[in-house]
């Protein structure tokens, strides 16, 4: 196995995967903190900090940060999630040390100059506006808020215009000091890298990060409910969600297989029935998002206002029917797709480095490929059906509907029949036991 792990005295985990056939390397810093770690008055600060990290340090201006990486043909980027924030680069083999120097610099010595703060506040406010103007993005903001009401996991990662404009250098430094600590950081590299050389560079450049691990965020709780917003749009956008499973739940792979069969691709039941056979929509798909302690199984569809009720009845029928009638052939196809996705990711240093970092954060170790494949292969028709039944039996549904037409409220009402049907099925099963 080409994967190596070293835990530094500070608590930072360094994980590498040497891919000898490559001449480039992907590497980055993953922090076990995201929007879930924000206090009430910090809504959006995780994402704002990610932006501000690139806006100058004590050693480099914002332009110099970009130019140093691009001068060697590399690229630099970052991403903020609910539970992690990542800063990463891709460079040639000879420039790994430079990339680590830049990454350490932007995180340990950010300048947070006032002019840059004000400028980036305006940029993010525009980003918030862009989401508000994009219904197939906005619908997921609504769905998240309904699924996890009055808690950080239900809030937009971007924040609001009011909160973003309230951030200052002192608040950023406080958040940074509280959450960016060595035991909460993973530095991962894949491709043309040598493990000990990366370890040596990390020890030299990330020495300012220390202290005990931060307290985990408060447990999340799936709420449920309905949000319907009338807006003049060409389509009605619909999103549904049930409580899913966490990243470490033994049923995770069975849930993913159920999700795949129901709406995970062009061969899925929903795509074939709703789009190919009936022409009720252009886009329809299911998804499952696992977090550290909870999960969210959901569905999205966009349709014409006149077809909303018919599509919703089809969705309700297909979800319930899939949990009952999943076939061996469908599970075989789902497992093949999942396995191919996993193995294809191993061929990309960028995908591989992200995979390694997530495994270290979630499991505390890199997961061997054979072990992952074994978990996929262990999924059966029975386990996938059981996973589908369990999703529906949790009895809570979050629904978001956006658009125009008389069918908006009826769409939400039709969706509610899913939970009533699941409750009835559970009751009958209990009576027969």
Active site residues: 50
Residue 170 backbone zone (phi > 0: left; psi -120 to 50: alpha; other: beta): alpha
Spatial distance between the Cα atoms of 433 and 428, rounded to a whole number of angstroms: 9
Positive or negative, the Cα torsion across 351, 354, 360, 361? negative
14 strand-pairing partners: 6, 187
103 touches 357 (CB < 8 A): no
Q: Specify the 3-state DSSP secondary structure of 227.
A: strand
Spatial distance between the Cα atoms of 85 and 28, rounded to a whole number of angstroms: 10
Spatial distance between the Cα atoms of 312 and 239, rounded to a whole number of angstroms: 11
Cα radius of gyration rounded to whole Å, the chain: 23
Strand pairing of 13-18 and 281-290? unpaired
Ranges assigned E (strand) in 267-371:
281-290, 295-303
> For residue 290, what are the CA distances in angstroms to 28, 32, 137, 153, 214?
22, 15, 19, 12, 21
Residues in the chain: 433
222 touches 289 (CB < 8 A): no
> For residue 232, what are the CA distances in angstroms to 134, 237, 308, 330, 412?
12, 12, 15, 39, 18
Q: Which of 404, 393, 345, 8 is nearest to 208 (CA)?
A: 8
Spatial distance between the Cα atoms of 106 and 78, rounded to a whole number of angstroms: 11
């Amino acid at each position: 196995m080409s994967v190596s792990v070293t835990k530094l005295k500070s608590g930072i985990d360094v994980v590498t995967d040497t891919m000898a056939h490559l001449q480039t390397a992907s590497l980055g810093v993953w922090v076990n903190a995201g929007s879930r770690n924000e206090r009430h008055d910090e809504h959006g600060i995780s994402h704002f900090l990610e932006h501000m990290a690139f806006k100058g340090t004590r050693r480099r201006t914002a332009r110099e940060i970009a130019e140093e990486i691009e001068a060697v043909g590399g690229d630099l980027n970052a991403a903020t999630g609910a539970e992690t924030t990542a800063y990463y680069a891709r460079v040639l083999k000879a420039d790994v040390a430079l990339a680590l120097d830049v990454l350490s610099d932007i995180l340990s010595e950010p300048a947070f100059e006032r002019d840059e703060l004000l400028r980036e506040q305006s940029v993010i406010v525009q980003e918030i506006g862009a989401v508000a103007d994009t219904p197939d993005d906005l619908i997921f903001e609504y769905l998240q808020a309904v699924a996890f009401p009055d808690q950080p996991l239900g809030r937009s990662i971007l924040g609001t215009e009011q909160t973003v404009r309230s951030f200052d250098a002192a608040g950023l430094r406080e958040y940074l000091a509280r959450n960016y600590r060595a035991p909460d950081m993973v530095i991962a590299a894949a491709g043309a890298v040598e493990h000990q050389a990366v370890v040596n560079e990390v020890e030299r450049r990330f020495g300012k990060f220390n202290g005990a691990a931060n307290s985990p965020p408060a447990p999340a709780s799936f709420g449920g409910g309905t949000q319907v917003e009338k807006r003049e749009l060409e389509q009605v956008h619909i999103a549904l969600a049930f409580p899913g499973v966490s990243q470490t739940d033994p049923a995770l792979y069975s849930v993913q297989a159920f999700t795949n069969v129901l709406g995970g691709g062009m061969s899925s039941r929903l795509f074939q029935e709703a789009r190919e056979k009936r022409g009720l929509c252009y886009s329809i798909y299911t998804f499952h998002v696992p977090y550290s302690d909870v999960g969210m199984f959901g569905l999205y569809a966009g349709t014409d206002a006149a077809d909303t009720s018919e599509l919703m009845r089809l969705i309700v029928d297909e979800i319930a029917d899939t949990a009952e009638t999943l076939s061996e052939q469908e599970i075989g196809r789902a497992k093949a797709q999942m396995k191919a996705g996993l193995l294809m990711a191993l061929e990309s240093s960028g995908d591989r480095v992200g995979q390694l970092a997530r495994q270290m954060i979630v499991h505390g170790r890199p997961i061997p490929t054979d072990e992952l494949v074994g978990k996929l292969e262990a999924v059966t028709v029975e386990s996938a059906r059981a996973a589908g039944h369990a999703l529906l039996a949790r009895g809570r549904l979050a629904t978001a509907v956006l658009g125009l037409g008389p069918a908006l409220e009826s769409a939400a009402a039709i969706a509610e029949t899913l939970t009533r049907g699941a409750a009835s099925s559970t009751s009958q099963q209990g009576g027969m036991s």
